[in-house]
Structure 1
Amino acid sequence: MDIEFGWSLDGTAWADAGVRTGPRGLLQLLQGRLGLTRPQLAPAVRTARAMTALAAADDPWSRASFTADPWATAAALLRARDAAVEAGAQLTPGPQLPARIAAITALDEQLQHAPGPADDLREVVDLLAGEADWPLGIEQIRCHEDPAALPGLWPALFAQLTAAGVRVERIVEGPTGQPELLLIEAEDEWTAAEAAARFLAGHDRADGAGLQVLATTGTVLLDQELHRRDLPALGIAAPSADRTAGQIIGLFLSIAVAPVDVQQLAAFLDLRVLDAPEDGGQHVGLVPARVRRQLLAALEQEPGVGGPAWRAALATLEADPDLPESAREVARWIDRTVTAPLETTELTPTRLLAVLEPLGTRLHRLGQGDPELLHAATHLQVLREVLEGLQPQRPLAPRELTRIIGATGGRSPSPFARPEAGAPWRSCARPAQLLPTGGAVLWWGAERPAPSAPVQWDPQETAALTRLGAHLLPPAQLAALETDAGLRALRGARRIIAVRAAHRCEEPTAPHPLLAHLAAESTADGGTVEKVLEARTRPAADTVGPGSFHLADAARPLSIPPRTVIPPRPEDLTRTAAPAPHLLPRSLSYSQAETLLGCRQKWVYRHGLRIRPATGANVPTGNQMVGTLVHAVVEELVRAGAASAPSTERIRAEFTAQVPRLASELLLPGREAELAELRERAVRSLREFFDRLAAAGITITAAESGFERPLTLHLAGGEATVPFRGFRDVDAHDADGRPVVIDLKWTYAAKKYPDLFDTGEALQLASYAWSLGSDSADGAGTDVGYFLLSQGEFVSANPLLDPAGRTPLPLTQLWEKGRTGMEQALEAIRAGAVGARSGQILLDAGQDLSTPRREATRTYERAREAAASRGELVVDARCDYCDLALLCGLAGDRS
């Protein structure tokens, strides 16, 4: 076998003349020939064993660091130990060793069964140094570098290979040409990709020397441009730890460790991992579709676990006769995990292994042959090996566990890393891998690479390692090995067209250092490197002329499409369609009535066509979550009979009891102060609520009481009667027996509801009063009002509750206004003309979603005043929070 060896040739393709390889490839080949191959230990497993070894060594220099962060300390010292072994050092204890060298020596003494690449290299060198005559089957190794100038054990390895009969020769004659250099600089990666793809499409394929493509950055965008021109993709994309498969375990443990993050739970339930059809076109998730839907719906009702909604969802799944038993078992597993999560003091390897066992079973069941899930299963297996190697009962700190999970995941390959056959060029990913064909080289991504971070030794450590047998090169000499290899390969080209983006990921880039070296060879006339590079740089726009593209020897005709005129935002947001009587509702609620008055399009999309955000996106948070929580506290106090005069302690205890069920995210670390402030605010507010009602002689009779009353709508096609349904927050009666309805609101907009009351537009209160009526009564005698939970204030015409002296609401007239508005909206929907009233109000005022909220509020106030003069109601549908603003045309990029 004839081998061409270069320090930077790892990963290159085999050439016709033999094998081209670098240090890693040669070592693997020798291991195979010598029978030294073995399964490679995952780096995280080696770190775990190093952590155990460091605990046993108890080195004084690393003790404090190891106590604070065992995993990071073990990883750093293991990396330094491997660098010393690869350099050739015999790590034996001795006097006067520098502190770090003594620490890695102590680590090496205790480290067992954790061989890495450095140990593989030493093992090969030691075996070849023996007396046995090993038949290597290698006739010649031709080296681009002087073997004696290589670092560490490599000079010794080549000496042993020579002694074993392998002819080791230095390649003295190499490319000595001075290639023509042309730099194409684009403002962004998209423009650069277009220029490079045009060059490849227009290059003369009859060029006998052959074209090579050097891609030192990912080619995802370039591949898209190549596909547009019917050319195969290069398929170069870096692996990443941020893909779905690498995050499954971390996401699962975030819900298996207390406190449970309900938003993470929703993400886990909604996680799709396979593109196989499931239940009518959905994708397969870790959680079966029907289980996923039921549990997400429960979280939408109650953003916590263990409450009535959660238990009802589990009961529904258990009673479903069509649900497979395996799906029921998944539901039980998730319930066990989140209702009895591990406490942070229980994060021992033994408990973690038990918690992870069902996840492994589920991944194994789903991941037969799927690369992504196989990677997730491998991640889990490595994590198990790490945990099994640790002390079974030693609690892991949350930060330490997070480090372990990240380290065990590794990097999964990109789905775009798929080179395609049939390219009329040869491609490679490192400059040293170019062949000296004398042809052209297109260099894609000729930008400065991210700096590597090799282990650095100070002078005292260098001297100590040298005494231990290490062969260390100065950092500059070590870096020159790679630089010289790249320059040798680039000099074998006739022309180099380097294409780079001036900005990548919104950050400025710099040219690749090798370009400066090539430019330095052209400064014989006294010019500087900067001037040479500037003279040979062309903007990508200059490659496009009238009707054609020209770059070097590549030419391609171009046709310039007509300029696209971006249409302006429509002045009228109304959508028209065929009459749609089928969209008329079968039932209504106040929230639907409010939507009909505020934005008919929103009602059609959400209720008529059922276009809604994903359930996982609807898990309550923020003010909505807190409002639901405080409502539930009131409901429970009323149900338990404590509403007459609950004590501060009783209210606080009920609030605390409801948090895990309805606001579990407030229990997460870092939110203690927020939870305490909300609890005390709610306690003070509810004490005011109950005390003020008692002082006014008002007795609460029910909370969250449901109602349903037939609502007759007068439409052009005839009368339609639909049930009007909903829940009243608090029902009560005063000393005279008159009904009272209080609506609870948690909001920081303290002026909104007083303004609605004072202007006679509090339609929600009118609907509640109407719901208390009968065929012969409309509830006009009902005393209604708001209670602002955040401020602890009533908004009411009852002076015993609200001393502001407000005028009673005209309930009958207000409800009739609302009924008329609903009839007009539904009649327009039936006829197929659907407007977006709130958005239209903004547009008519020359405003949009970017308008500051204060200005938009004033616009709506003027619209409400104008509507009131016509006997109509205007509702602000809050377009700035609407999920459907893209559909009406108010939001989005018009281009």
Structure 2
Amino acid sequence: MKIEFGWSLDGASWADGGPRLGPRGLVRLLQARLGLTRPEVEPAVRVAQYQRRIAAADHPWLRASFAADPWATGSTVLSWRDAAVTAGARLEPTEGAPDRIAALCAVENAGPDLAPGAADDLRELVDALADEVTWPLGVDSLLCHEDPSSLPGLWPRLLQLLEASGVTLERPGAAEQAVRPELVLVEAEDEWTAAETAARLLAGRDGAPLQLLAGADTVLLDQELHRRGLPAVGVADSAAHRTALQILPLYLSLAVAPVDVQLLAAFLDLRVLDVPEDGRDQVGLVPSRARRVLLDALAQEPGTGGTAWQQAMAALEADDELSVSGLEMVRALSALVISPLAPEDLTPARVREVTAPLGTRLRALGQGDPSLTRASTHLQVLLEVLEEFEPTRVLRERELAQIVASAGGRAGSPFARPEATSRWRTCSRSAQLLPVGGDVLWWGADRDDAATGIAWDTAEAGALTRLGARILPPARLAALDTDAGLRGLHGAERIVVVRTRRRAEEPTAPHALLAHLAAGRAAPGQGVADVLEELTFSPAETLGAEGFALAGARREVTVPAPSRIAPLPSDLTRVVAPAPHLLPARLSYSQAEDLLGCRQKWTYKNGLQIRAASVASVPTGNRMIGTLVHAVVEQLVGSGERTPSAARIREEIETQVPRLASELLLPGREVELAGLRERAVRSLLEFFDRLGAAGLVITSVESRFEEPLVLHLQRGDVTVPFIGYRDVDAEDGEGRPTVIDLKWTYAARKYPELFEAGEALQLAAYAHSLHEEGTDVGYFLLSQGEFVSANPALDPHGRPTLDIEDLWSRGTAGMTEALDEIGAGRVDARSGQILLDAGQDLATPRSDAAKTYASARAAARAQGSLVVDARCDYCEFSLLCGMRGDVS
């Protein structure tokens, strides 16, 4: 067998007319011939083993670093050790060695065994051949691209031993040295234009042979090839952030207290398998039936272990349609987040225990699916790493994250799927090009700043040389790759480079090999940059009167008529076929607000049931805090305390935070939680004290009501239930009722202005549900600790009494009008239209928009109607109505 060997040929295809091997490929072949193969040990497992050696050696040069960051230290020092062994050093303690070399020697001869890696494979192979093994190698000749004496480390010795074993070493002859190729450079401003140009070149060729050198991923190029009926190249880098490698770290992030409820929602929503053929939902680690139930629970209570979560779990336990595997996963997840591990309990034994259900679920779902097989492997490697540690050793959270990242490695891209083609041969490194002449299309010829290996200083290099190493200067080592790349490029007759000046929003620079190619074309006194500039032209220059032409490729091109982005519509009203069936099954205040503020919003959200994903409904920010403080008030009142103390309020807040605002317990949010707690304590003390001083006694909180509401529509009367919850009901000494609505907001003027303008429709709805004359109503602003009320005992600002009947009458009239218009097929976006009519949009400062709405409210009030600000700037439907984005 004749083998072609090159320093940069690892990864080359065997289908190129014979075995073309790089260093790792040749070692594996010789291992197989000599019976030296063995199962590979994962790099993360070797790091764990090497950590034990470092601990056993306890070398003073490593001690402080190892104590501060054991995993990073172990990983770094192991890479030094492997580099030294590859260079040929036998790490034995020697007098006077530099600190780093002395530390490596001490660790090498201390403690437990270390599984062999690639460096040890090379050493073992050299030792085996040096023992004059007569086992037939099956290799007749080795065509070496490089002079063996120019190679680093043990490679000259290995090639010398192969020659002594009867393998003929050959070098490329003079006839095989190629001439200088023609060079054509096309530089685009963006990746899309570059992809279009390269695809036109490939589609416009007459079938002449071509090699495609993919120096960057071809995802965009593949899309353009598919548009032209050509197969995809399918080159895409592997990465550590693929979905398969996110499953384990996301799961483990939930295992350690405190639990991030947003990450819990992300895990519940994580889909791992697509099953579009039967119309079912995507398959997740958590079954879809359970996913929706648990996400709805988090939307009610953004924490774990609370009432909503327990009720959701009870419902799932009674669900006979859940699979056994799915239910077990749900149970394990619930137990995990309700009782997460404390940091001091994070041991290898506990990690193995909490990840066991995940492994079972992955195996149940996997059944050969590559992505889940990769996730299962990730977990298995982690467990193998943990086997190297003492079961009771406490792992730091950062260390566990490092181990998980190392255990995962990199996963392939779903776009790395080349399609069968005989049109061109593809490779990813210029050294892998075949010297067959013809054209080479170099896609993405950007500068590659890859590391060139471990750097040793002069003293360290001398010490390693005395230990048997062969250390090349960094420049000579880099030259090996450069020479190999140029050798491959010089085997072509013409090189067409298509690259982009920016990639992933970052500027790029031409590949260093282009400078070498240009240097041979420079006239006296001319710089390389000038030569490259002369050879470079833009994609626009490839288009002429007869279409596209580049490097012998031609293709007809049709230029479409220019299009313009449509301006923002002046009228947001949609006119469609009548829709009398769009009626609410029941109404709440939030629905009423949508009907009055934006009929399109109600139609999309309630009439057509278009909703945001459940994972997006998990509360955060003001909404989460408001829910928390509401619950605190409910619990304080329920316990019968009329004037709770500051200590009692603080205690109740601490109790409710894990259930309703668990994200405030995350590291780094201690100041935020402390500030919130003290603000809420002061506010609630004021709330209870002011109520007591006014002679009001709270009778109930979160009181549900459901009242029939008759709407006199044009198509006939319709009765719908109007439902809701009153935050706080109270009575004075004479039994007169008061309704207080609690609000957590930093917009201190919003609710006072609504109250004073007589447009606090929510208060009118709550008062109307009591059916008692003389009902007093008001807001309590939890963040500010202030009442907004006409009762001077609660609010000394002298605000006018809210006309509840008039306001409720205007509100029901507005709802009736809105449903009539929707039924007739005329659906407007009233809040957005108010802005547009005033020459404003979503970019208008909020203070200016507020003045516009205030004027609109005053005009509507004079006509006996209502205007509600639907907050278009926060609306999730603003793309559909045309207020946001490109509506063309």
**TM-score past 0.5 threshold:** yes
Q: Following TM superposition, by how much is the alpha carbon of 1:558 offset from its aligned partner in structure 2, in angstroms?
A: 0.8
Instruction: Write the deviation string for residues 528-584 of structure 1: whole angstroms up to 9, x where unpaired.
Output: 212111111111111111240111211111111112232222211111222212111
Instruction: Write the deviation string for residues 499-546 of structure 1: whole angstroms up to 9, x where unpaired.
Output: 110011111111111111011111244422121111111111111112
Instruction: Write the deviation string for residues 423-472 of structure 1: whole angstroms up to 9, x where unpaired.
Output: 41222111111111121111111110133251100111000000000001
1:229-244 alignment runs, 5 A limit: 229-244=228-243
Q: Distance in 1 between the 2:593 and 2:15 partners?
A: 73
Of 177, 180, 188 in structure 1, the residue corresponding to residue 179 of structure 2 is 177
1:671 aligns with 2:669: yes
1:776 is matched with: none
AA aligned opposite 1:392? P
Unaligned runs of 5+ in 2: none
SS at match of 2:817: helix
1:736 is matched with: 734
Range that drifts further, 451-460 or 467-476 = 451-460
1:127 is matched with: 128
Q: Distance in 1 between the 2:811 and 2:394 partners?
A: 62
1:35 aligns with 2:35: yes
2:799 is matched with: 806
1:781 is matched with: 774
Q: Distance in 2 between the 1:492 and 1:318 partners?
A: 68
Contact 1:44-1:404 at 8 Å conserved across structures: yes
Q: Distance in 2 between the 1:346 and 1:13 partners?
A: 49
AA aligned opposite 1:587? R
SS at match of 1:881: coil
1:656 aligns with 2:654: yes
Q: Distance in 1 between the 2:252 and 2:309 partners?
A: 20
1:352 is matched with: 351
Q: Distance in 2 between the 1:851 and 1:531 partners?
A: 49
1:854 is matched with: 847
Q: Distance in 1 between the 2:289 and 2:194 partners?
A: 47
AA aligned opposite 1:203? R
1:3 is matched with: 3
Contact 1:573-1:835 at 8 Å conserved across structures: yes
AA aligned opposite 1:138? V
Q: Distance in 1 between the 2:577 and 2:23 partners?
A: 72
AA aligned opposite 1:263? Q
Q: Following TM superposition, by how much is the alpha carbon of 1:780 offset from its aligned partner in structure 2, in angstroms?
A: 4.1
1:694–1:517 Cα change, 3 Å? same
Q: Following TM superposition, by how much is the alpha carbon of 1:488 offset from its aligned partner in structure 2, in angstroms?
A: 1.3
In percent, how many aligned pairs have the same letter? 64
Contact 1:277-1:284 at 8 Å conserved across structures: no
2:269 is matched with: 270
2:863 is matched with: 870
Q: Distance in 1 between the 2:523 and 2:785 partners?
A: 83
Tell me the matched-pair count: 886
Q: Distance in 1 between the 2:321 and 2:355 partners?
A: 28
Q: Distance in 2 between the 1:322 and 1:289 partners?
A: 11
Range that drifts further, 253-262 or 451-460 = 451-460
Q: Distance in 1 between the 2:769 and 2:745 partners?
A: 25
Q: Distance in 2 between the 1:682 and 1:230 partners?
A: 64
2:725 is matched with: 727
Q: Distance in 1 between the 2:788 and 2:451 partners?
A: 65
AA aligned opposite 1:148? S
2:367 is matched with: 368
Q: Following TM superposition, by how much is the alpha carbon of 1:368 offset from its aligned partner in structure 2, in angstroms?
A: 1.0
1:223-234 alignment runs, 5 A limit: 223-234=222-233
Contact 1:251-1:268 at 8 Å conserved across structures: yes
1:436 is matched with: 435
Q: Distance in 1 between the 2:18 and 2:643 partners?
A: 92
AA aligned opposite 2:171? R
Unaligned runs of 5+ in 1: 774-778
1:191 aligns with 2:193: yes
Q: Following TM superposition, by how much is the alpha carbon of 1:16 offset from its aligned partner in structure 2, in angstroms?
A: 6.0
1:278–1:491 Cα change, 3 Å? closer
Q: Distance in 2 between the 1:856 and 1:53 partners?
A: 67
SS at match of 1:710: strand
Of 699, 704, 709 in structure 2, the residue corresponding to residue 701 of structure 1 is 699
Instruction: Write the deviation string for residues 690-740 of structure 1: whole angstroms up to 9, x where unpaired.
Output: 000001101110000111111111111111111111000000011221100
Q: Following TM superposition, by how much is the alpha carbon of 1:15 offset from its aligned partner in structure 2, in angstroms?
A: 5.9
1:371–1:517 Cα change, 3 Å? same
SS at match of 1:740: strand
Contact 1:2-1:17 at 8 Å conserved across structures: no
Contact 2:452-2:477 at 8 Å conserved across structures: no
Contact 1:145-1:171 at 8 Å conserved across structures: no
2:59 is matched with: 59
AA aligned opposite 1:794? F
AA aligned opposite 1:132? V
Q: Distance in 2 between the 1:481 and 1:453 partners?
A: 11
Q: Following TM superposition, by how much is the alpha carbon of 1:320 offset from its aligned partner in structure 2, in angstroms?
A: 2.4
Q: Distance in 1 between the 2:416 and 2:177 partners?
A: 31
Of 701, 710, 713 in structure 1, the residue corresponding to residue 711 of structure 2 is 713
Range that drifts further, 798-807 or 526-535 = 526-535
Contact 2:326-2:361 at 8 Å conserved across structures: no
Q: Distance in 1 between the 2:76 and 2:481 partners?
A: 25
Contact 1:278-1:284 at 8 Å conserved across structures: no
Q: Distance in 2 between the 1:213 and 1:296 partners?
A: 48
1:586–1:15 Cα change, 3 Å? closer
Range that drifts further, 319-328 or 152-161 = 319-328
2:79 is matched with: 79
AA aligned opposite 2:191? E
AA aligned opposite 2:242? R
AA aligned opposite 1:821? G
Instruction: Write the deviation string for residues 224-257 of structure 1: whole angstroms up to 9, x where unpaired.
Output: 1111111111111000111111010110011111
1:202 is matched with: 204
Contact 1:447-1:509 at 8 Å conserved across structures: yes
Q: Distance in 1 between the 2:442 and 2:509 partners?
A: 15
Range that drifts further, 880-889 or 763-772 = 880-889
SS at match of 2:415: coil
AA aligned opposite 2:148? P
AA aligned opposite 2:616? A
Contact 1:278-1:289 at 8 Å conserved across structures: no
Contact 1:598-1:874 at 8 Å conserved across structures: yes
1:15–1:683 Cα change, 3 Å? closer
Contact 2:178-2:492 at 8 Å conserved across structures: no
AA aligned opposite 2:844? T
Q: Following TM superposition, by how much is the alpha carbon of 1:146 offset from its aligned partner in structure 2, in angstroms?
A: 0.5
AA aligned opposite 1:757? F
Contact 1:780-1:811 at 8 Å conserved across structures: no
1:809-824 alignment runs, 5 A limit: 809-824=802-817
Q: Distance in 2 between the 1:281 and 1:852 partners?
A: 45
Contact 1:707-1:726 at 8 Å conserved across structures: yes
AA aligned opposite 2:228? R
